[in-house]
Structure 1
Amino acid sequence: TEFADDEIRTNYLQLAVPEATLSYYTQHRGVEAGERLLVEYLRSNGDWVAIGIHESDGVDQTVFDFHQFELPAAARFDGGRIRIRADVNESNDDWYVDDFRICDEPVSTVPNDECVDRTPVFGGDNAFTTIGATDSGIDDALGCSTSSGPTVTNDVWFEFTAFCTGPLTMNTCAGTDFNTRISLYDASGGCPTSGTPAFACNDDGCGTGSSISTFALAGQTFIVRVGSPDGSFGDGILRIECNGQGGPPNDECVDAESVSDGITQVSTAGATSSGIDDVLGCSTSSGPTVGADLWYLYQTSCTGLLTIATCGSDFDTRISVYDASAGCPSSGSANYACNDDACGTGSQITVPVLEGQLLLIRLGSSDGATGDAQIVIDCEPFDSPCPEDVDGSGTIDGADLGLLLGAWGTPDADADINGDGTVNGADLGLLLGAWGESC
């Protein structure tokens, strides 16, 4: 047949192959609602058959849509062709087609298309897409579906570390626009093969969505596969809850968990980033970003030197301490103290404090790593029960202030209230904080 003005065609193709996949991207601008772009293949009898029909909604697109189709047997012969044509009313309607391919294997455009490339997910809602995903060729165990058989198509892969010991649920019930299927595997066994027993799996637990429930131990790592039983694909939300929560209870500053002196064993598994950067001086090597952070609230037990440390933790930790009376910080907020690597990959800070101060402690990581940590908190009182009473009069007043200012910048032992070897602003702050008190 003759070429029309509104079409383009490929050359004659050598398509006598067992299978072939056609993929391409499209975008439309200035196209009226209802007008279409047709992608068609040539049959050996000379007929053209549509394989892709893309209809405009009348709204200009700002990104390209990905499309992928398996060419049927009628299209796979030597001498076959593909054509693209517009079905429009106006000559100035613009359809764009990019990265047009015919391959003997499907083309993946998602980063976690295979188990070895799985990406992390966390408690709460995790947006995902299977658009552009290919089949991993790994069948579920037969018991995973009563109606659809073991095949899972267009699947993507994730990794999840449990942040609690208790009931674990995952579902695609809300916000998902295609027929899903979920399989959950124990990550300690590595990537599954066809028929590997799943920790849990489900096809249609909530309509065409999927829902699984099992029991998890804190720190346990799972491999999660989300795909489809019928070849459909789309966008979705993977909702994860452990003990009915979408993440550790102190994942955000407003939910800070109380801690006290001594050793507190914690896990940051499942923690997300609060998106609050440290001030630049908190790390000499890793920049201001703090990832996978948890929050704690501590009331000082003494007037003296407070030490907070995470030495011996099994991941690269980072500590930031804030004055809780100022509320939750934002990026760049001044902190009371901070540290990255004072003890190997652990962190430690030591600062003078007054008894009864409320401090916010943030424990996170420079690189987003999570793991088990121990927070050691120790408040060591100053030797003198009233070190701010520089002149020993029994009252902290102007006389003490005068002596402190007179010794400014020196190692004067009487005026060096915090004992750090120099009379400076830290000593002045302690004196003013105790102003008017009697000893």
Structure 2
Amino acid sequence: MRSPILAAMAAVATSSLLVAQVANDECSGAVVVVDGANGPFSNVGATNSAPAFTCGAGGNDVWFVYRATCTGSLAVNTCGSGFDTVLRAFDATCTPCGSFTTAMACNDDSCGLQSAITLSGVTMGNTYYFSVGGFAGGTGAFGLNITCTGGGGGGPPDDECSGPTPISLGVNGTFTNVGYTTSSPSWPCGAGGNDRWFAFRPTCTAPHTFYTCSPNTDYDTTIEIFSGNCGCGITSLGCNDDSCGLQSSITATLTLGNVYLVRVGGFASNTGNFDLTVDVGTGTGTITAMGVGACGGITIATTGNPNINGNLTTNLGGIGAGIPVIAYGFLPQNLVFCATCALGHDWSIVIPGASFALTIPCDPTLIGANLFTQGAEIGGTGCGLFPLSMTDTEQIVIG
């Protein structure tokens, strides 16, 4: 009877040892770090990673990964830590984790027994790995401090793809391409030129639409979107000259977590001012009044962005002493029950109140789907034994 018990105890002990292994012992498990103070961390229990340290006989190292927030210089240090550290950095822009052979920089002692390195020429959006070990394999607790400082001088940083301006969902700008030059590669549409570069990171995997269509855009634009890293080779995902008059629009399916480059130029190198708007989805979502079901004088208005990941708000007007409700459904109907009052859809979801806001999920399978909405006032004025007023029915086609 003792053998099975001992075996079980051994299994538990072995399992505990496995759990205790250091998660970021190799670069494949690197911990994400950001600008500012990170930690505290520890290299206790870590092993030596390849390639070997070229300074301080470093060993027992642990790994961290950082995405640059600026184009310029990057300062990294372990100053103030509790043991003799060794620090090195690797550029993952063109070399994936696990294939590193040469460190960008390596330092043993810079601030007492702790380490500091400064990397020049880092590029916003590019990925860098840091490995922290101990002098002669020493171990202990440490912090990792990071400062990214944008470079100055010369032309605008976003004149080339190495210094793109970050953009986000919604309207970005107003920008100008006056004073910008024409970048490589050559434009495949609209004889584009005098381009300005932007970087965008999607928050979900779905089609995204980029466009310059705006009253603030005052010239003939061109737009192109790329995947890949500047400096390692970028791939055009599409190019557009004229989509909305003389302005431009392009849609491409983007993947969560990747960074994409967008450049905006001018037809035949025209220059001027422009807004750059980013929508999730096709950008073709619509909200339409169907003219079905209204009675009693109350109104409905749904406004916002009818595309995936878009925000919509439905408001009822003309509500009196009754109880307002808003209903959403998925199937159109025209079920008349008194006078002109009719159910315009299947009323799958009923929400009390005269206003409701919702966010369409960021799910590309919803593109082209229909959502219907209708409002009612119960117990005020209107038709029926129990007074009821109904609004028109709206059809929302998701883009």
Normalising TM by the smaller chain, what interval? 0.3 to 0.5
Which protein has the larger Cα radius of gyration, Structure 1 or Structure 2?
Answer: 1
With structure 1 as the length reference, what TM-score do the two structures score?
0.36
